[in-house]
């Protein structure tokens, strides 16, 4: 196929040799299958901020580190330089998260290069060597649902132990590779210790997994892995090998009305975003 404008510089500079086809178009990026020598990889071309439909970006970028104080001031003021710096930081966040998580043993695509707003990474494939499907496009048996859910809960724990929360984890950004689930789409990943919304995002990520796999195995709908994991994390005892039960006894205390309202609002926004993804396939 004819190379899109955003990929032409990578062709000219030899990062890729050919563009095979478009793989998908999502809310934040276009993904293409490309050839790099004898290997087939994928190229993720990030959309401009004005074209993205990703919501509540301020929650995800809270307390992210920037290169210097000048950049931080410009981002806070919303100057042109600041907007460009913020966009660059948003894109590079996924690269940083992929390297960090791969080093921690989390199942994510292997990153190769990041150049001119394009991320080159491993193409995740199924048993036939074709591009792996998203979980949203797969029908599972109850047994397979339990197995994949357990695997992904383990990946969430491993991510959290590495200090990272996905922040938008659902069946739409998990691929089912030949050897099991692989987590993708990480530009909104947050620092578990440095973001005030970390607990809410972790609970939502785990809740999304529960709700999806619970369609195939209703017994999963009663589990409380999110609250259990966060409790172990905040007590400093969570490890990748920590046994989990899926049960959690909440301590009684005063009700945080503002917090409840935020959760309700976030749930509403997440449902609207989910419906949008179903309509657009992104």
The active-site residue, picked from 185, 258, 266, 269, is 185
Quick check: is 168 catalytic? yes
CB 108 within 8 A of CB 101: yes
59 a catalytic residue: no
- Which residues, including other chains, have CB under 8 Å from residue 89's CB and lie 6 or more apart? 61, 64, 66, 75
Which of the 8 DSSP states describes residue 50? Answer: G
Active-site residue identified among 59, 96, 168, 249: 168
Answer whether 166's CB lies under 8 Å from 229's CB.
Answer: no
| CB contact set of 251 (below 8 Å; sequence gap of 6+) | none
End-to-end, the C-alpha distance of the chain in Å comes to 22
Nearest to 22 by CA among 6, 35, 36, 33: 33
Which residues are part of the catalytic machinery? Answer: 168, 185
């Amino acid at each position: 196929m004819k190379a899109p404008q955003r990929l032409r510089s990578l062709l000219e500079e030899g990062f890729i040799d050919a563009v095979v086809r478009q793989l998908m178009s999502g809310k934040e990026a276009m993904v293409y299958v490309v050839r790099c020598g004898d290997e087939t990889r994928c190229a993720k071309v990030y959309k401009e901020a004005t074209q993205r439909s990703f919501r509540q970006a301020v929650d995800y970028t809270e307390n992210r580190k920037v290169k210097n104080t000048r950049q931080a001031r410009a981002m806070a003021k919303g100057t042109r330089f600041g907007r460009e710096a913020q966009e660059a930081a948003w894109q590079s966040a996924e690269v940083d998260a992929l390297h960090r998580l791969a080093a921690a043993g989390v199942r994510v695509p292997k990153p190769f290069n990041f150049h001119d707003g394009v991320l080159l990474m491993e193409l995740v494939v199924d048993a036939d060597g074709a591009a792996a499907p998203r979980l949203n496009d797969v029908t599972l048996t109850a047994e397979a649902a339990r197995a994949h859910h357990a695997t992904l809960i383990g990946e969430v724990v491993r991510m959290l132990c590495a200090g990272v929360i996905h922040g938008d984890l659902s069946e739409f950004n998990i691929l089912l590779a030949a050897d099991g689930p692989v987590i993708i789409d990480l530009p909104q990943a947050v620092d578990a210790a440095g973001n005030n919304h970390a607990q809410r995002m972790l609970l939502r990520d785990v809740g999304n997994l529960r709700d999806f796999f619970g369609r195939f195995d209703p017994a999963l709908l009663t589990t409380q892995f999110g609250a259990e994991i966060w409790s172990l994390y905040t007590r400093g005892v969570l490890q990748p090998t920590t046994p989990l039960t899926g049960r959690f006894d909440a301590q009684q205390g005063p009700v945080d009305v503002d917090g409840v309202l935020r959760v309700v609002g976030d749930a509403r926004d997440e449902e609207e975003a989910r419906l949008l993804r179903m309509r657009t396939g992104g």
